[in-house]
A = this chain, B = another copy of it.
Amino acid sequence: MSSKKLIYLPLGGAGEVGMNCYVYGYGPKDDERLIVVDLGVTFPDMDGTPGVDLILPDIAWLEERRDRIEAIFITHAHEDHVGAVGHLYDRLGAPIYARAFTAHIARGKMAEHGHSDKAVTTVSKWPETVTAGPFTVGFLPVSHSIPETSALVIDTPEGRVVHTGDFKLDSTPIVGEAWDPETWAEVAKPGIKALVCDSTNVFSPDPGRSETDIADNLEALIAEANGMVVATTFASNVARVKTLAEAGVRAGRSICLMGRAMRRMVEASVTTGVLSDFPSVISPEDAAQTPRENVMLVVTGSQGERRAASAQLANGKYLGMKLKEGDLFLFSSKTIPGNERGVIRVINAFSEMGVDVVDDQGGRYHVSGHANRPDLTTMHKLMKPQVVIPMHGEHRHLREHSKLAKANGVQSILAVNGTMVSLSGNAPKVAGYVETGRTYLDGSVQIGALDGIVRDRIRMALNGHVVVSVILDENDEPLGEPWCEIKGLAETGRSNAPLQDVLEEDLDQFLRRAGTKTRADDDKLEEGLKRIARKTCMDEVGKKAEVTVIVSRLE
């Protein structure tokens, strides 16, 4: 027994916000039985991942141990927790467990990849549990910004671990289960080995506020508006969608939901029973026929996403609706760092139409779904764990959360992705490191972040691309002149002649002067042609162009 160990290993989500994937193991070293908590995605950007469709955790470590995986548990249905189940299921093959709403979303994702419904099992909330090898796991309800969010109570031969998932302490969350400190205190009673805890809002100094807090502000804002009102928030924030819709109804407006994700999320909530009493909605066709001062649209696109409803409305007409002077557009949301440019683009487009845009105004029209600093302290003190392991945050969040835990009198370990922590015994400690990283979904293919494919794309974007084609006969003599194709470089440079002509002339000279030895050697020839092409581009247009050389030899 003493040779068996309890381990915790984040593969995604610890050292970043997004792409959550955590592993717990129990057993002899290198032969632990494993469970996986969450399989999320993160989103690409032009800066570092141009053209990539989605970013998934690199699960190579898990895949090599797939025979040891007992189960996959999904805490809630946000993309950064459930988004990768369809993409990665094949490579893991273990049964997936989630509560009804989350399971519904997960099954949709599995179906998109042709996986069976049966791989996903619906579990009721704690005290119901699932036994998975040496682990017994229960879904402990907690408030967040999507229905049926749950922490996991993970009972192990070495004691109880609580994995909070994403959470906030909201006693009046509009939709779903309120924060219930009594049940949590009961869970804590046997003693908590480790609290693996959300760190997102550790830098927010004030206690978090309830979803209920903003209802009156919203109603007042909508009641004052003279034209059409449009509000956007995350579609998955079903509570907010309801808060918005109810405020709109109280202000005397008919509600129309726009954007595929918005309708899908509300339908999923109704289907799975987590949402009731949602105000009746009208179709976009009916909305277009209703006087605009009596309509409120609730739309997707709070992050300025190019194809979402808000961006479409900003570009002109969307499903027959068109905003105009005197209308009001509300961001009932916060801009996620990195999305500022897209959001500002949408705001300015509305400004050009004469639409008044209102943002969250420092919390007036939005509350966060994550526990703030004082709420984390509440959680530490309620659970009294042996150790707090911060997760769900960038390094700065994890480090600050670790400091907070220590200030609260609790041990803490800062474990970023790839850090294996041994939770056995009285002193949890780092037991080793495993290689982790990111996998890119690129078109229909999964590629490694370090494969160099995206690096090549970034280089072409920064430097342009010159393709040189050369044909040699059987005696290594050039047949005709070298041919250049240029993409992404200025057409003329310093010498005022077309860059293509200058390149072809310089390359031709090189080719004719090069000795037979160089011309006979593919590598040498390619190297020489590349060097000349780069130099000419630098001289002419001041760019370090990417150069591809194609040497064709006739035999």
A47 in contact with B341 given A348-B395, A351-B395 (CB within 8 Å): yes
A545 CA / B40 CA spacing, docked (Å): 28
Q: Is A66 in contact with chain B by the CB < 8 A criterion? A: no
* Contact indicator per residue, chain A 459-489, by CB within 8 Å of chain B (1) or not (0): 0111111010101000000011001010111
Chain B residue with minimal CB distance to A357? B396
A407 contacts chain B at the CB level, 8 A cutoff: no
Which of A242-250, A259-267, A421-429, A441-449 lies at the interface?
A: A441-449
Q: Can you tell how many copies of this chain the complex includes?
A: 2
Among A210-218, A233-241, A546-554, the stretch in contact with B: A546-554
Q: Say yes or no for A347: interface residue by CB 8 A criterion.
A: yes
- Quote the shortest CB–CB distance from A114 to chain B (angstroms): 14
Let me know if B51 and A463 touch, CB within 8 A.
yes
Are A543 and B51 in contact, CB atoms less than 8 angstroms apart? yes
Proximity bits, A248-284, B CB within 8 Å = 1, else 0: 0000000000000000000000000000000000000
| A550 engages B445 (CB within 8 Å) | no
Whether, in the assembled complex, A505 has its beta carbon less than 8 Å from a beta carbon of chain B, the answer is: no
**B337 pairs with A344, CB closer than 8 A:** yes
B457 touching A458, Cβ below 8 Å: no
The reply to whether the CB of A134 lies closer than 8 angstroms to some CB of chain B is no
Does A317 belong to the interface (CB within 8 Å)? no
Residues of B within 8 A of A530 (CB): none
* A394: interface (CB < 8 Å): yes
A453 surroundings in chain B (CB, below 8 A): 464, 488-491
In the complex, which residue of chain B has the Cβ closest to the Cβ of A52? Answer: B462
The residues of B that contact A50 with a CB separation of less than 8 Å are 46, 50, 458, 461-462
Interface residues of A in 49-74 (CB under 8 A from B): 50-51
Complex Cα–Cα for A457 and B466 (A): 12
Contact of A457 (CB < 8 Å), options: B444, B445, B461, B492: B461
Bound CA–CA A394/B345 (angstroms): 10
Within 8 A of B (CB), among A510-535: none
**Could you tell me the distance between the alpha carbons of A488 and B443 in the complex, rounded to whole angstroms?**
12
A399 → chain B closest CB, angstroms: 5
Q: Is A133 an interface residue (CB 8 A)?
A: no
> How far apart are the CA atoms of A344 and B203 in the complex, in Å?
14
Q: Are B456 and A488 in contact (CB under 8 A)?
A: yes
A447 / chain B contacts, CB cutoff of 8 Å = 490
Interface residue A454 (Cβ < 8 Å from any Cβ of B): yes
> Is A552 within 8 A of B47, CB to CB?
no
Q: Within the assembled complex, what's the spacing in Å between the Cα atoms of A176 and B50?
A: 45
B554 A480 Cβ-Cβ under 8 A? yes
- Please state if B548 and A445 are interface contacts (CB–CB under 8 Å): no
**Given A51-B462, A344-B394, A451-B490: 9 more A-B contacts, CB < 8 Å:** A45-B341, A47-B341, A50-B50, A337-B340, A348-B395, A444-B541, A456-B464, A460-B487, A479-B554
**Can you give 25 A-B contacts (C-beta < 8 A)?**
A46-B46, A46-B50, A50-B50, A338-B341, A344-B394, A351-B394, A351-B395, A357-B396, A442-B542, A443-B541, A443-B543, A444-B494, A445-B490, A445-B494, A453-B489, A454-B488, A456-B464, A457-B461, A457-B464, A469-B469, A479-B554, A480-B552, A487-B546, A487-B548, A550-B550
